[in-house]
Chains A and B, each alone.
Chain A
């Protein structure tokens, strides 16, 4: 079945550092890939997505590229801020799947001033 493997946390960075959170997946067919973010005490919200190979999703300075050859969707940001402290979830959705999303286990990011 489908699965998502995420870099384990927690990750602690200083403000303005470069961020990478690794995500790899296993799926049949051609899934869509997502990054969701969960700020403290809140639900999840979509950060970015890519629906086909070589697509790059971007939002709020974050980027991720859908790499079919390496089955990866790594999240990157060039300069993190304290306000980026949150839990980040990688997820995939397979075409034709009514259940929609399969999530990774989440990566806790803390950015220190």
Chain B
């Protein structure tokens, strides 16, 4: 079975802390994604990566950075957490190629910044 694993389901962090959200996929996928999900706004793409050490900004990259040192792992970093980054974060992965490829999601990480 396809598996995208996010390391933490629930986190509470203080304003100004550096936060790491980790994601691992076991499908040898080239593409990996970080989304943010907020009520009424759907899913918004923060960053994506189409290869090791490669990354591209999505729609809302401000306040975030990412790291992809190994193919199976994609990390989202909040350099200095703020309360407006309280949200559900979803990691995903897919094969490269045609537009019909399925994207597989992790179960999500609920982050609360206080």
Answer whether A and B are interacting partners: yes
Q: In the assembled complex, how far is the CB of residue B33 from the closest CB belonging to chain A, in whole angstroms?
A: 7
Binds A, one of B12-20, B40-48, B62-70: B40-48
B108:A51 contact, CB within 8 angstroms: no
A93:B42 contact, CB within 8 angstroms: no
B100:A100 contact, CB within 8 angstroms: no
CA distance A96 to B98 in the complex (A): 7
Q: Decide if B24 is an interface residue (CB 8 Å cutoff).
A: no
Cβ–Cβ < 8 Å partners of B103 in chain A: 46, 100-101
A interface residue numbers (CB < 8 A to B):
31-32, 34, 36, 41-46, 49, 51, 89, 93-101, 103-106
Q: In the assembled complex, how far is the CB of residue B105 from the closest CB belonging to chain A, in whole angstroms?
A: 4
Greatest chain B CB density within 10 A among A44, A45, A51 is at A44
Cβ–Cβ < 8 Å partners of B98 in chain A: 32, 51, 95
Greatest chain B CB density within 10 A among A41, A95, A97, A99 is at A99
A98:B48 contact, CB within 8 angstroms: yes
Cβ–Cβ < 8 Å partners of B61 in chain A: none
Q: Choose one: A34, A43, A93, A95; the contact of B90 (CB below 8 Å).
A: A43
Known A-B contacts A98-B48, A99-B56, A100-B33; A46 and B40 likewise in contact (beta carbons under 8 Å) = no
Q: Choose one: A41, A89, A93; the contact of B99 (CB below 8 Å).
A: A93
Known A-B contacts A51-B99, A51-B100, A93-B99; A98 and B105 likewise in contact (beta carbons under 8 Å) = no
B107:A43 contact, CB within 8 angstroms: yes
Instruction: Please list the 6 inter-chain residue pairs (A to B) with the smallest Cβ-Cβ separation, ordered nearest first.
Output: A43-B105, A51-B100, A105-B42, A93-B99, A32-B100, A32-B99
- Please name 25 pairs of A and B residues whose Cβ atoms are closer than 8 Å in the assembled complex, sorted by A: A34-B102, A36-B105, A41-B107, A42-B108, A43-B105, A43-B106, A46-B102, A46-B104, A49-B100, A89-B42, A89-B43, A93-B99, A93-B101, A94-B99, A95-B98, A97-B99, A99-B56, A100-B48, A100-B99, A101-B103, A103-B42, A104-B42, A105-B42, A106-B42, A106-B43
